[in-house]
Structure 1
């Protein structure tokens, strides 16, 4: 059994976006966003982010966002700013801080959706054609490039392919997932996915709370839509390929929302501006948000119950059982302690030594890590010093004997 680990370098291989852009890295995220048409769309909310830059950073928003700011550093600062305001006396400041925090989730997801909204990625498609049903694909990426490739070239489906049971799938309308035995590779997304949805959270005083009645580990999955769906303020945007959508995902229609405490009244309001056109779609249901673990240094996996705990456990089991582990475009950054621990714990539980193949344009430090920290000898280690692309020899990559 093979385990294929995909990092940011794998997503960077996608060269067929109608936008002409490739997936961003941490320091070119905002320059990428500025080049997309959605950056000029009044429905794409950035006022909370601009407010943060002006009033907390005391900087000109455009100059700041064009300065190659690292999105992980910015997101971490925004989260730290949110945590400064707690309790009943911090309501207004906390609302402002929380607004910038949630808007960045939507902006981040929208950039990925815009770029991946084209033909199926050729490198991912070639990989999907060669992997076997019992193989496992693990990724830290939020995009759906591998999802689409698997769906196109194998029997993989969103119903059972992610390693959990979705509550509902938006497939031209909300439908129940089809329960069947998995007959395709499993795709484990350790940081969530732009097409996974949860209820839009609130954070009135301290904790960040989901507004759904269902358990926090409940996931709704978006797949496809050819006609308008119910979403926030009816702001449906059409023209998207499968597993991609406009800025607003569909509202959740099969959950009534969390019950409010006795003595309180729930008020739903929205400020209208004359320069923002009204949406023409329906707006009923529970407002949703992409279910991703944002790129912050201290990642909060526990907000979603046991969802990510289970996914990381499944990934560890895959590493423990795989005879061949293929690393594509993942550099094992020192700050990502959880991913390092994942491999260390898995290798400590093994009774044998797997073959490891690394594909990366700068593989030296990664190879050294596997030898010195994970105990993989030279005899079980192969290195392809190249970018992942449609020219990659997938047959040789997956077969350690070639």
Structure 2
């Protein structure tokens, strides 16, 4: 395992592909989901029931996605069984809308190794792959998986530069916690390659599915092949939407293991690269993750890669990390990720080659 760790927030995906939404803002994920909800006029009985239930919820909640989802997912003592059932149906409907937004940007095709987007950031993907760097991510999208698979094909075919998609080109080779390929619902065989980078998705992924019944539920992942409906019709997406209280999700045994591995990786890291994350006050578990993991690691270097240079932004970091740990070289500048790649990643690759 590498002594380096990447930590990716939504700003990372946005920096790679401007079509990805941030949580807030006019075209952010929150507003897009709320617009879809308010304009959703389904024809079937189920859709109409969900829409009617949405209209019965106080407007003060329906204008704030975090408060709405927190209300829907909380087992509050005054809710009767009908309310709980309708809340769960609306909650699943919102989750599906979030997944569809990301799927419209990030479909299940492989990354194009010859595209300008891939070539622009090729050094980053190869750096992660060759250095076997653990990537801790809060993002639902498949940007990491797709580009690391493309990088692995380039590295495997380096001499002739012929890109072949092979059967082993699966997201699963980067998920080292036992998340099963959906096709393994009829075949229990699975294997993990520990010499590859690991992707730890703390908030789930658009290609993860589970039954949403108990903490022991298995999490399955969809790969890039077409999946028969009979394999997934009883499952719902496993993503942790932006809610104020995420504790109910953290009871899932597989997700607990993912968080523990993230804690271990951060704890032993010598360098941490935090890309596109501002430590919002509503995401307390992430703050506690770093504070707990680094409480005895005073020598770690934490690189902040973000165009934001405001006092408020920096104060959040200073509340978590020491001045000695923080590295501001790539903070508060335009195209901060691109400059990080050009100055840190390429220089590292050059020194490795020498």
2:270 is the counterpart of 1:323: yes
Contact 1:188 / 1:311 at 8 angstroms: preserved in 2? yes
Note the C-alpha offset of 1:397.
3.6
Residue deviations 1:160-187 (CA, integer Å, cap 9, x gap): 412311233449x965554243222111
Residue deviations 1:206-240 (CA, integer Å, cap 9, x gap): xxx34xxxx725211100234x6225xxxxxxxxx
Unaligned runs of 5+ in 2: 112-116, 154-168
Note the C-alpha offset of 1:348.
0.9
Instruction: Name the structure 1 match of 2:95.
Output: 105
Contact 1:130 / 1:395 at 8 angstroms: preserved in 2? no
Note the C-alpha offset of 1:71.
2.0
Residue deviations 1:145-174 (CA, integer Å, cap 9, x gap): 111111221377433412311233449x96
Instruction: Name the structure 2 match of 1:235.
Output: none
Cα distance in 2 for partners of 1:48, 1:24 equals 30
Cα distance in 2 for partners of 1:355, 1:339 equals 18
Note the C-alpha offset of 1:115.
1.7
What SS is found at the alignment partner of 1:4? Answer: strand
Cα distance in 2 for partners of 1:105, 1:112 equals 11
Note the C-alpha offset of 1:2.
1.5
Instruction: Name the structure 2 match of 1:150.
Output: 148
Instruction: Name the structure 2 match of 1:161.
Output: 174
Note the C-alpha offset of 1:300.
2.7
Residue deviations 1:64-112 (CA, integer Å, cap 9, x gap): 97xxx342222123334x63555xxx33333222211221111111111
Question: Comparing 372-381 with 69-78, which one deviates more in the overlay?
Answer: 372-381
Instruction: Name the structure 1 match of 2:124.
Output: 127
TM-score of the superposed pair, with normalisation by structure 1: 0.67
2:257 is the counterpart of 1:310: yes
Instruction: Name the structure 1 match of 2:236.
Output: 289
What SS is found at the alignment partner of 1:311? Answer: helix
What SS is found at the alignment partner of 1:382? Answer: coil
Note the C-alpha offset of 1:347.
1.4
2:9 is the counterpart of 1:3: no
Q: 1:30 to 1:320 in 2, by over 3 A?
A: closer
Cα distance in 1 for partners of 2:294, 2:173 equals 27
What SS is found at the alignment partner of 1:106? Answer: helix
What SS is found at the alignment partner of 1:188? Answer: strand
Question: RMSD of aligned C-alpha atoms?
Answer: 3.6
Note the C-alpha offset of 1:395.
4.3
Q: 1:177 to 1:108 in 2, by over 3 A?
A: farther
TM-score of the superposed pair, with normalisation by structure 2: 0.75
What SS is found at the alignment partner of 2:171? Answer: coil
Note the C-alpha offset of 1:396.
2.1
Residue deviations 1:235-284 (CA, integer Å, cap 9, x gap): xxxxxxxxxxxxxxx51xxxxxxxxxxxxxxxxxxxxxxxxxxxxxxxxx
Q: 1:124 to 1:308 in 2, by over 3 A?
A: farther
Residue deviations 1:279-336 (CA, integer Å, cap 9, x gap): xxxxxxx611111122110103556532222212211111122111111000011221
Q: 1:395 to 1:113 in 2, by over 3 A?
A: same
Instruction: Name the structure 2 match of 1:77.
Output: 71
Instruction: Name the structure 2 match of 1:375.
Output: 322
Q: 1:399 to 1:331 in 2, by over 3 A?
A: farther
Instruction: Name the structure 1 match of 2:156.
Output: none
Superposition map of 1:6-21 within 5 A = 6-15=8-17, 21=19
Q: Which of 65, 74, 81 is 1:91 aligned to? A: 81
Cα distance in 1 for partners of 2:273, 2:337 equals 17
Residue deviations 1:100-142 (CA, integer Å, cap 9, x gap): 1221111111111112127746466552122234311111111
The structure that is helix-richer by fraction is 2
The total of aligned residue pairs comes to: 318
Q: Which of 345, 355, 374 is 2:301 aligned to? A: 355
Q: 1:216 to 1:378 in 2, by over 3 A?
A: closer
Cα distance in 1 for partners of 2:32, 2:326 equals 42
Contact 1:124 / 1:145 at 8 angstroms: preserved in 2? no
Cα distance in 2 for partners of 1:397, 1:196 equals 33
Contact 2:209 / 2:220 at 8 angstroms: preserved in 1? yes
Contact 1:161 / 1:187 at 8 angstroms: preserved in 2? yes
Cα distance in 2 for partners of 1:119, 1:388 equals 26
